[in-house]
Amino acid sequence: MSDMLVKLYDLPDSAPIYKRCKEAGVEIRRAMTPDLRRIVKWVSEYSSDYAAGECESCFGKSPVSCFIATRGSEIVGYACYNATAKDFFGPTRVLDSEQGKGIGAALLLRSLESLREEGYGYAIIGSVGPADFYKNVCGATLIEDSTPGIYKDFLRG
């Protein structure tokens, strides 16, 4: 899977997407360290152990570089940035039952906005799955010859 590049200085207005989430009863918020174990367990269960490792690394940063989507006290999605490498977005996941409600877009945009606030002009979305999603939400473009990118040295078992 290829990486994608995003112009952080040209992100779309996120207000309508955040409003859509709020109307669906979903809150997008920065993860807090007291929730580390619960969030990492959720990521391991609904994503992978690799993603859980990346997510856990986000709690060692200040501010925590992970956002969660919640409905009440239930986690319905998450997104990380600056996890495996600086200026990278991912991993991310929204429950299948919650997809199509703007939650993934909200998590993506909130993370990209944070990268922009940290001073980056561009961001890399690592090893994307649905490239059209990223192209449509934030104008991301594929980076040629970026497979497997930084992920080539993962310890595979």
Per-residue pLDDT tens for 45-67? 999 999 999 999 999 999 999 99
Confirm whether 92 is domain-assigned: yes
What is the three-class DSSP state of 7? Answer: strand
Q: What integer pLDDT is reported at residue 67 of this predicted model?
A: 98
pLDDT greater than 60 at residue 157? no
What is the three-class DSSP state of 142? Answer: strand
Confirm whether 43 is domain-assigned: yes
Per-residue pLDDT tens for 4-52? 999 999 999 999 999 999 999 999 999 999 999 999 999 999 999 999 9
Phi and psi torsions of 12, nearest 5° = -70, 165
* Amino acid present at 64: V
Per-residue pLDDT tens for 72-105? 999 999 999 999 999 999 999 999 999 999 999 9
Confirm whether 156 is domain-assigned: no
Q: What integer pLDDT is reported at residue 129 of this predicted model?
A: 82
Q: Distance (Å, rounded) from C-alpha 91 to C-alpha 20?
A: 23
Q: Distance (Å, rounded) from C-alpha 80 to C-alpha 93?
A: 10
Confirm whether 93 is domain-assigned: yes
Confirm whether 16 is domain-assigned: yes
- Domain count along the chain: 1
Structural domain that includes position 63: 4-149
Q: What integer pLDDT is reported at residue 118 of this predicted model?
A: 97
Give the global pTM: 0.96
Q: Distance (Å, rounded) from C-alpha 145 to C-alpha 60?
A: 31
Q: What integer pLDDT is reported at residue 156 of this predicted model?
A: 65
CATH number of the domain bearing residue 98: 3.40.630.30
Confirm whether 157 is domain-assigned: no
Confirm whether 76 is domain-assigned: yes
DSSP per position, 66-130: EEEEEETTEEEEEEEESSSSTTEEEEEEE-GGGTTSSHHHHHHHHHHHHHHHTT-SEEEE-S-S-
Reference 79, options 50, 58, 102, 100; nearest CA is 58
Confirm whether 125 is domain-assigned: yes
